Amino acid sequence: MRLLLIADTHLPKRAKALPDEVWDAVAAADVVFHAGDWVDLASLEELEARSARLVGVFGNNDGPELRARLPEVARVELGGVRFAMIHETGAAEGREARCDRWFPETDVLVFGHSHIPWDSVTPGGLRLLNPGSPTDRRRQPHCTYMTAEVVDGRLGAVELHRLPRRKAS
């Protein structure tokens, strides 16, 4: 099963649209995860229309329309792997211990908010994944997203993709 992980798209404030490479990844994915900060309802609706399956949560920059359609925490089991997703997990310091406490019955936690890619495993064995942002790199060298696979009841390959820098208009 092929997964696409994105977060913090901030459309249309940080970019007018998702990059074509991300739309290609949407088309190739069996499941798309969006870890919040969509900003506009049109982004949710377009991603819903173009995804085989979409799992999303709202973020701190998402208004009432998005909060009415999306949960704060999403949980889904895919191919025997228990996923949870939330927008914000707090400061990097102490994140692993916090997430172990918050998500004890979870194999993989997808999160966003910082725009900083993250891939670690907690002492309790929880895999933490933040795909960064495909549209707003902030202080990171690149805009990013992740792809992953579920194979034989476990999380397989996870890959961080760096997008080329956009030319200034």
Please answer whether residues 134 and 145 qualify as being in contact, where contact means their C-beta atoms are separated by less than 8 angstroms.
yes
For 1-47, the pLDDT digits (tens) are 999 999 999 998 878 899 999 999 999 999 999 999 999 999 999 99
Neighbours of 149 (CB within 10 A): 15
How confident is the model at residue 167, as a pLDDT? 53
How confident is the model at residue 112, as a pLDDT? 98
Q: Which residues pair with 5 in a beta bridge?
A: 33, 146
What residues does each domain of the chain span? 2-162
Helix (H, G, I), strand (E, B) or coil at 66: helix
Among the residue ranges 13-17, 60-64, 72-76, 156-160, the one predicted with the least confidence is 13-17
Please answer whether residues 9 and 34 qualify as being in contact, where contact means their C-beta atoms are separated by less than 8 angstroms.
yes
- Separation CA 82–CA 103 (nearest Å): 10
- Separation CA 94–CA 53 (nearest Å): 32
CATH topology of domain 2-162: Purple Acid Phosphatase; chain A, domain 2 (3.60.21)
Please answer whether residues 105 and 79 qualify as being in contact, where contact means their C-beta atoms are separated by less than 8 angstroms.
no
For 86-128, the pLDDT digits (tens) are 999 999 999 999 999 999 999 999 999 999 999 999 999 999 9
How confident is the model at residue 169, as a pLDDT? 41
Helix (H, G, I), strand (E, B) or coil at 140: coil
pLDDT band at 164 (very low <50, low <70, confident <90, very high): confident
Mean per-residue pLDDT for 140-149? 96
Work out the angle between the directed axes of helices 20-28 and 41-50 (0-180°, nearest 10).
50
Please answer whether residues 9 and 125 qualify as being in contact, where contact means their C-beta atoms are separated by less than 8 angstroms.
no
How confident is the model at residue 13, as a pLDDT? 86
